[in-house]
Amino acid sequence: MPWMQQDLMSLREEFVHLVETERLPLATLCERFGISRKTGYKWLARYREAGRAGLADRSRRPRRVRPTLPAAVREALLAERRAHPCWGARKLRQRIWLQGLTPVPACSTITALLHREGLLGFNQPLAPARRRFEHPVPNQLWQMDFKGAVPTLAGPTHPLTILDDHSRFNVRLQALPNQQTATVQQALTETFRRYGLPDRILVDNGSPWGSDAAHRDTPLTVWLWRVGVAVTHSRPYHPQTLGKDERFHGTLTREVLRDAQWRDPAHVQTALDRWRTVYNQERPHEALALAVPASRYRPSLRSYPEVLPPIEYDTGTFVRKVQQQGEFSFQGRRYKLSKAFRGYPVGVRPLAGDGQYEVLFCQHRLTTIDLREGRD
């Protein structure tokens, strides 16, 4: 509570004098003088420290004045934010540090600057921290998916995205005319020729790499096995299995595709090419301790085979040719595979159990059969 409107110095002096007499508790005197106990203790401490002079008002000027940002740092921050409206304070701070500008401001200072300049409208709330898993080296796993149709004035286009699991490096970002097998195979061939072969590619269960959870083998996955790339499918109705690529799609939407009017697929591709360079080489990635994906990526040592090797199986493996309906015969019985294997040889190799076999294609197990069961 404030002091009464009288001579403040006299009132304060009288107050501390009465406290020194110890006739009344300090709390009672504070109540009678209309001040809080905190204020009473403050003036008593100042009086005991400096006498009557300690009762005078002190300047409220701050002891330390926060230094203002140098003009070069301020303008660089604002320029980066205007060029990348979705980047937050941590990414902007990393960019300033990489440019060698000093002093490097704190994230809170950058956020306050953006707030004053009215540049916080594009920020999204931070998601809660999650435990991340990544493969230890590049090219052990690529994640691949379609972003979804992007409408243009000349018709829809379909951006294909392929992301390296370890480095988050985008190895392919191409606006394709459709999602057909031949179109995707051509895009993958060009990617393999430039970056080499990954050990494995993770995809969902949709076309062209699968029709559903029960029919995952397609001509595209058969071709990938033939060139030496394993294929893994995500769990049905669990897009989080492809979490890194799904997260990439969200960033792509916010920073490129949202609120844009596209003339044709070539217009989209021009924007994708420009942004892919920024994403791989300039944009600090928070999952990589603010490093850029290009700093962690290395091309694969496995080159793309321009001529597909012959399909061969080990000694002791029975070889059967898959017929037009996706069936093959073994021990007087017919077994059903996907039509994607028609015309190809498959291997039937005995297992430890009597009458049990595994069916292979290019050393990849397709299924198992048991001759002890009823006829198929």
Q: Domain segments of the chain: what residues?
A: 8-55, 71-116, 142-295, 318-370
- Condensed to tens digits (0 to 9), the pLDDT of residues 278-325 reads 999 999 988 888 899 999 999 999 999 999 989 999 988 999 999 988
Q: Report how far residue 63's alpha carbon sits from residue 58's, in angstroms, rounded to the nearest whole number.
A: 12
Which candidate, 185, 261, 267, places its Cα nearest to that of 225? 185
> Quick one: average pLDDT of 359-369?
89
User: Percentage of the chain surpassing pLDDT 90?
Assistant: 45
Q: Count CB atoms within 10 A of the CB of residue 257.
A: 18
Give the model's pLDDT for residue 255: 92
Q: Give, in order, the Cα–Cα distances in Å from 139 to each of 8, 166, 202.
A: 77, 8, 12
Q: Do the strands 333-336 and 345-350 form a parallel or antiparallel pair, or are they unpaired?
A: unpaired
Dist. CA 248–CA 226, nearest whole Å: 29
Residue partners of 335: CB distance under 8 A and separation at least 6: 327, 328, 329, 359, 367, 369, 376
The Cα 93–Cα 90 span in angstroms is: 5
Number of other CB atoms surrounding residue 103 within 10 Å: 11
Region 263-289 average pLDDT: 93
Mean pLDDT check: name the lowest of 103-107, 146-150, 237-241, 339-343: 237-241
**Which has more confidence, 240 or 39?**
39
pLDDT at site 68:
80
Q: Which H helix or E strand runs over 160?
A: strand 158-164
Q: What is the pLDDT of residue 5?
A: 44
Which homologous superfamily is 142-295 in? Ribonuclease H-like superfamily/Ribonuclease H (3.30.420.10)
Is residue 360 within 8 Å of residue 313, measured between CB atoms?
yes
Q: How high is the pLDDT of residue 189?
A: 97
Residue 370: pLDDT over 80: yes
Give the per-residue pLDDT at 122.
45
pLDDT for residue 359: 93
Task: With cut-offs at 50, 70 and 90, classify the pLDDT of residue 223.
Answer: very high
Token pair in block for residue 279: 């994403």
3-class DSSP state of 299: coil
The residue-averaged pLDDT of 135-151 equals 93
What is the pLDDT, as a whole number, of residue 47?
Answer: 87
Residue 336 corresponds to which tokens in the numbers above?
């059903």
Check: CB of residue 236 under 8 Å from CB of residue 205: yes
> How high is the pLDDT of residue 259?
80
Q: Residue 98: pLDDT band by 50, 70, 90 thresholds?
A: confident
Contact at 8 Å (CB) between 200 and 165?
no
**Distance, C-alpha 104 to centroid of its chain:** 25
- 363-373 burial by CB neighbour count: b if 16+ within 10 A, else e? eeebeebeeee
Q: Are strands 345-350 and 318-321 parallel, antiparallel or unpaired?
A: antiparallel
pLDDT class of 237 with cuts at 50, 70, 90: low
> How far apart, in Å, do the first and last CA atoms of the chain sit?
92
Strand intervals (E) in 52-194: 142-146, 158-164, 170-176
Residue 164 phi/psi, 5-degree rounding, is -75, 130
Listed ranges 160-164, 216-220, 241-245, 306-310; the one with the highest mean pLDDT: 160-164
Asked whether residue 213 carries a pLDDT value surpassing 80, the answer given is no
Neighbours of 94 (CB within 10 A): 21
358, pLDDT greater than 50: yes
What is the rounded CA–CA span in Å between residue 271 and residue 361? 41
d(CA 305, CA 160): 22
Higher-confidence position of 116 and 298: 298
Q: Are 142 and 156 in contact (CB under 8 A)?
A: no
Report the interhelical angle of 71-83 vs 107-116 (nearest 10°). 70
Q: Is the pLDDT of residue 137 over 70?
A: yes
* pLDDT for 130: 52
Structure tokens at 44: 């008593």
Q: In this predicted structure, what is the pLDDT of residue 212?
A: 56
The C-alpha R_g of the chain, in whole angstroms, comes to 35
Which residue did the predictor score with more confidence, 46 or 214?
Answer: 46
Distance (Å, whole) CA 220 – CA 222: 5
Please report, for residues 34, 115, 149, 227, 307, the alpha-carbon distance to residue 321 in angstroms, rounded to integers and kept in the order given: 101, 68, 38, 19, 21
DSSP 188-215: HHHHHHHH---SEEEE-SSTTS-SBTTB
Which fold does the domain 71-116 belong to in CATH? Arc Repressor Mutant, subunit A (1.10.10)
Percent of the chain with pLDDT over 70: 91
Prior bond of 67 cis (ω within 30°): no
Q: Which amino acid, one-letter code, is at 212?
A: D
- Bridge partner residues of 360 (DSSP): 347, 365
Give the chain's mean pLDDT. 86
